[in-house]
């Protein structure tokens, strides 16, 4: 699964221990842009590691983001507000989609989308685990690529980790480092021009 991850996140309501949900809502309301480094691991249902990659992410709401995978392969995913561009350097191939169709109910709609999380996801607080306040987001639509999403917030309400589980039991774990909230990001960050000679696929 060549990580279209960059495209994922979301959530909605529960009460009880409200720390996780309150952290999420505060993060969405107070964070209009952001950038961070990340490490991403995919494991199968038997917890066997399938893939490990590192990279950087940037986003600006609404609808703009850039995820770049650096190691062990290079891939760039850009949402420019209207289109989603996925560039695989090894294949010299670019896939282009309409952004609203590509995002749908995906987690990217949380970072780069609007605040209508309760319309799309059902949220449950999970309490403190491994030093983070966790919540679980279950999509209301069966069309979502993931069965459930867990978000972990650290001291100060910063997003530090995500876990995404699909219908096959495969889990994607993302840990963020050096998250900078509300940096000034120029418009060029969210532009993408296909490299000369690249194969372009539209769907």
State the CATH number of the domain containing residue 76: 2.50.20.10
Q: How many domains does the chain have?
A: 1
pTM of the model: 0.80
Residue 187 reports pLDDT greater than 90? yes
According to the per-residue pLDDT averaged within each range, which of 10-14, 51-55, 156-160, 166-170 is highest?
A: 51-55
- State what percent of residues in the chain have pLDDT above 70: 84
Average pLDDT over the chain, rounded to an integer: 83
Whether residue 119 is predicted with pLDDT greater than 80 in this model: the reply is no
Average pLDDT, stretch 147-172?
A: 90
Q: Range of 73's domain?
A: 4-202
User: 4 preceded by cis ω (within 30°)?
Assistant: no
Q: What is the Cα–Cα distance from 35 to 56, expressed in whole angstroms?
A: 7
């Amino acid at each position: 699964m060549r990580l279209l991850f960059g495209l994922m996140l979301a959530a909605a309501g529960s009460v009880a221990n409200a720390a996780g949900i309150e952290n999420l809502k505060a993060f969405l309301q107070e964070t209009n842009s952001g950038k961070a480094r990340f490490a991403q691991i995919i494991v199968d249902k038997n917890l066997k590691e399938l893939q490990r990659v590192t990279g950087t992410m940037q986003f600006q709401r609404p609808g703009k983001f850039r995820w770049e995978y650096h190691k062990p392969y290079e891939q760039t995913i850009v949402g420019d507000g209207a289109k989603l561009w996925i560039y695989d350097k090894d294949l010299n191939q670019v896939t282009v989609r309409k952004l609203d169709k590509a995002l749908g109910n995906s987690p990217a709609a949380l970072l780069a989308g609007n605040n209508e999380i309760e319309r799309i996801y059902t949220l449950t607080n999970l309490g403190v685990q491994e030093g983070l306040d966790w919540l679980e987001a279950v999509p209301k639509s069966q069309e979502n690529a993931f069965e459930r999403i867990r978000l972990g917030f650290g001291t100060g309400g910063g997003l530090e980790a995500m876990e995404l589980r699909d219908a096959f039991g495969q889990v994607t774990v993302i840990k963020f480092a050096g998250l900078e909230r509300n940096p000034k990001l120029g418009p060029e960050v969210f532009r993408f021009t296909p490299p000369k000679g690249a194969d372009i696929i539209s769907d």
